[in-house]
Structure 1
Amino acid sequence: MGAALAVCAWLRGAAVTAICGPGVRCRFPAGVTRVEVTSAAEMFSAAADIWPGMDMGFFSAAVADFAPERPADGGLGKYKKSGAPEGFSIAFAPNPDILKSLAASRRPGQRVLGFAAEIVPDMESLLPLARLKLERKGADVVAANPVNAGHGAFGAEGASMAVVDRTGHGEIWSLKNKADIAWDLCSWLLRI
């Protein structure tokens, strides 16, 4: 979805920087600047660096809420059974909330599109969840995808979603191609 949004914005004449995690394997047009990251912390840092100069932010990455903490020894060696016959535990720490942090630090005129991945019994259940995320994160528009088994929003060519904005308007979109979704989301963000 993020790649479709980047290409859509570029086609509309925007200067685009796409911050891509390891799962993004697509090629962008030559005019799109690509920044590679491998962790949520790197993604936050890269986004925070460019955010002050952007007019819009599309926060489409499905960043995990938590990441494993590095062990005290750095975690660079091999762990042998003889050194931990009872096994060992892994601690997790919260990842930075990229959407909420950058939405809170925006300057007047910057617009924010956020995404939510939700497990829901039906599409109508997405609207209130999208509204909650919109309020909690401080976005202008939130697009929520069902990620139940069989809905495959991640890596699929299309998606169904519920979209809400800060004016209170909300819609449910049936399965559409992600290029069409990107165009419609950009249009929505431009008109609010």
Structure 2
Amino acid sequence: MSKPRVVLGVGGGIAAYKACEVLRGLTESGHDVRVVPTEAALNFVGAATFEALSGHPVHTGVFTEVPEVQHVRVGKEADLVLVVPATANLLAKAAHGLADDLLTNTLLTARCPVAFFPAMHTEMWEHPATRDNVALLRSRGMVVTEPDSGRLTGADTGKGRLANPAEIVDLAKLLLARPDALPRDLEGVRVVISAGGTREPLDPVRYLGNRSSGKQGYALARVAAQRGADVTLVAAHTVALPDPAGAVVEHVSTAEELRQAVHAASRSADVVVMAAAVADFRPANRAEHKIKKSDDQPDPVITLDRNADILAELVQNRRPGQVVVGFAAETGDEHGSVLDHARAKLKRKGADLLVVNAVGDGKAFGTEDNSGWLLGADATEKPLPLAPKAELASTVWDAVVSFMKR
């Protein structure tokens, strides 16, 4: 099978160096990437770097390889076009159909999904001209993602920072698998998502926890933000993951801290998704000092108290019209299959939707891919084939949008 063909356009902003990380991430995952920079981009990263990482020659103008009609061929042959970073100038040119170099010609000739990943100062991103250009591009079916917030050029901070390269690679793979995966159908929808695994301390050193990495919850937040939602992500022990662009992230540790944060955020939310793996129990007593091993003392006995059922509380206290989505990590046993346990849990909890993952033997926790079933309160059951977690997240949001339209 031929490799997916990706055109990586690079704009002339300081974040151009991060395009090298995107390029490497795509090539190492089996994509054929052709880099098309602007002349300004080459002031930040030389053509030789892009050529070495991609294995393709790099050109900026339309007067090279003229017999091959390169300014038309590059866009027509692509399966996906990315612009990283998309400067205010590039967004303006694309919105108004200007074609004064190879990249802008490619944007006009491409008939595949086109995604812009903006990077600029906050004032430029918020300027009415830029906002109008973004809206115009989106109205034409192009993807213009929300930038991240954080440190910009110099001492400035704010919204306008380029999304993390790993996030860009994930979204690129999602668009190749599902070109329609990022519609702006969650505009104005307030979403709360929990992610990761809580930890219940035994002493200053040890804790009760689980193997959840938070990757699925982060994928849900990432996709929701790029579909236009106002996202609050409550994250438990996910420090290895970069915050999703466009989301407000609150980091917590214990089940009770997560409970308080989710309840506070959900009071004004339209959708609440409980993707975190919350500890069912906590030690009844936390030792003030590290518990020592001792040959002349009996082994300690740990008494556990039950933690609150956060999902059940959310269902009981939800606002009118609020959609509540639960997650269930299940294993089959002598009492029933994974689906049997999941159906009983959905009925018991009262959520609108329940995502069910079979866990164990390298499944779900800590992996890049996920699978399972999506159960509805209306007795619908949709299989979720094994796929990258961003694809599963997109399917979940499709179901949420459909549920909200009822």
- TM-score in terms of structure 1 length: 0.89
Q: Which residue of 2 aligns with 1:125?
A: 337
Aligned-partner residue type, residue 233 of structure 2? A
Q: Deviations over 1:87-137 (max 9, x none)?
A: 22111111111111111100111001111101137xx93333222111111
Residue 77 of structure 1: CA displacement?
A: 2.2
Which residue, out of 91, 99, 120, partners 2:303? 91
User: Does 2:331 correspond to 1:105?
Assistant: no
Query: Alignment length, in residue pairs?
Result: 186
Partner Cα distance (2:294, 2:387) in 1: 54
User: Does 2:393 correspond to 1:182?
Assistant: yes
Partner Cα distance (2:359, 2:294) in 1: 41
Percent of residue pairs bearing the same amino acid type: 38
Q: Which residue of 1 aligns with 2:365?
A: 154
User: Does 2:242 correspond to 1:27?
Assistant: yes
Residue 25 of structure 1: CA displacement?
A: 2.5
User: Does 2:233 correspond to 1:18?
Assistant: yes
Distance change (3 Å), C-alpha of 1:81 and 1:129: closer
Check whether the contact 1:57–1:113 (CA below 8 A) recurs between aligned residues.
yes
Aligned-partner residue type, residue 250 of structure 2? V
Q: Which runs of 4+ in 1 moved over 6 A?
A: none
Q: Which residue of 2 aligns with 1:76?
A: 288
Higher deviation after alignment, 19-28 or 46-55? 19-28
Which secondary structure state, in structure 2, belongs to the residue aligned with residue 8 of structure 1? Answer: helix
Residue 68 of structure 1: CA displacement?
A: 1.2
Aligned-partner residue type, residue 116 of structure 1? A
Partner Cα distance (2:234, 2:262) in 1: 7
- TM-score in terms of structure 2 length: 0.43
Matches within 5 A, 1:54-65: 54-65=269-280
Which secondary structure state, in structure 2, belongs to the residue aligned with residue 89 of structure 1? Answer: coil
Which secondary structure state, in structure 1, belongs to the residue aligned with residue 337 of structure 2? Answer: helix
Q: Which residue of 2 aligns with 1:167?
A: 378
Check whether the contact 2:225–2:245 (CA below 8 A) recurs between aligned residues.
no
More contact order relative to length (CA 8 Å, sep ≥ 6): 1
Q: Which residue of 1 aligns with 2:267?
A: 52
Unaligned ranges ≥5, structure 2: 1-215
Which secondary structure state, in structure 2, belongs to the residue aligned with residue 171 of structure 1? Answer: strand
Across the aligned residues of Structure 1 and Structure 2, the Cα RMSD in angstroms comes to 2.0
* Structure number with larger C-alpha Rg: 2
Q: Deviations over 1:117-173 (max 9, x none)?
A: 01137xx933332221111111111011010314x2011111110111011110222
Residue 18 of structure 1: CA displacement?
A: 0.5
Aligned-partner residue type, residue 154 of structure 1? F
